[in-house]
Amino acid sequence: MPKILLLSALFCCAFFTVKAQQPYLKKDTTLSKSPQIDTIKPAYVNKGRIAGRKAVFRALVAPGWGQLGNGITVYRLVKVGALYTGATLLTLSYMSNNKQYHRYLTELQNREFNLEQGKPEIDPNSELARYPTAQLTVAKDTYRRNKEVIIFSFVALYAVQAIEAYVDARLMYFDVGDDLAIRFSPTLINNGAVYSYSPYTPGLKVSFRF
């Protein structure tokens, strides 16, 4: 019995001694973690849209500035020249129609005033005395409509030059790439079997490559 107790005590001591001598291994966190992969892609910047907005802003501030802001070329200078030529012609036309409108309007007002004062309607000293009142009214309305059309043309010209500046700016960054190609080649077109006979018609094949 004492031998058994002695052997048991020795066995327990040997077990705990071996267990105490096992080295403590620290877990390497650098190996367990997978490498971090940056999946964030750079934000796409639409340069054409930005350039188009800037061109519209410049064109609205000063007509023609949008075209020149896209780059000074002979083609753009011609467009700006045509823009200001058209604006000048519209201005001269407006001044002429406005002058004639007020000329006939003043004559009609004078005739109306003469009637209210009990005087003869038409002043013989007036340069428009030979024209009847109805004809003067038609002429006045015509010149008034011409003025309205010219004002509308000014607005349209202002809007068109802004739109053109925007389109021109967007096209500067429009790239179809170098892989775009078109190819023409002869071919035969099958028209379908007729009485076990399949006729073919010569044709032209058009191929696009993007």
Computed over every residue of the chain, the mean pLDDT equals: 80
What is the per-residue pLDDT across 99-123, written as a single tens digit (0 to 9) for each? 999 999 999 999 999 888 888 888 8
The structural domain count of the chain equals: 1
Q: Is residue 51 one of the residues assigned to a domain?
A: yes
What is the per-residue pLDDT across 44-92, written as a single tens digit (0 to 9) for each? 778 888 989 999 999 999 999 999 999 999 999 999 999 999 999 999 9
pLDDT at residue 199, rounded to an integer: 66
* Residue range of the domain that includes 81: 47-174
Q: Is residue 52 one of the residues assigned to a domain?
A: yes
Q: Is residue 5 one of the residues assigned to a domain?
A: no
Q: Give the Cα separation of 111 and 89 in Å (integer).
A: 34
**Among 80, 81, 88, residue whose Cα is nearest residue 168:** 80
CB atoms within 10 A of CB 52: 22
**Which tokens hold the place of 154?**
């000014």
Region of 5 on the Ramachandran plot (φ > 0 left; ψ -120 to 50 alpha; else beta): alpha
Q: Is residue 207 one of the residues assigned to a domain?
A: no
What is the per-residue pLDDT across 179-195, written as a single tens digit (0 to 9) for each? 556 677 777 777 665 55
Q: Is residue 35 one of the residues assigned to a domain?
A: no
pLDDT at residue 18, rounded to an integer: 44
Q: Is residue 17 one of the residues assigned to a domain?
A: no
Position 92, amino acid = L
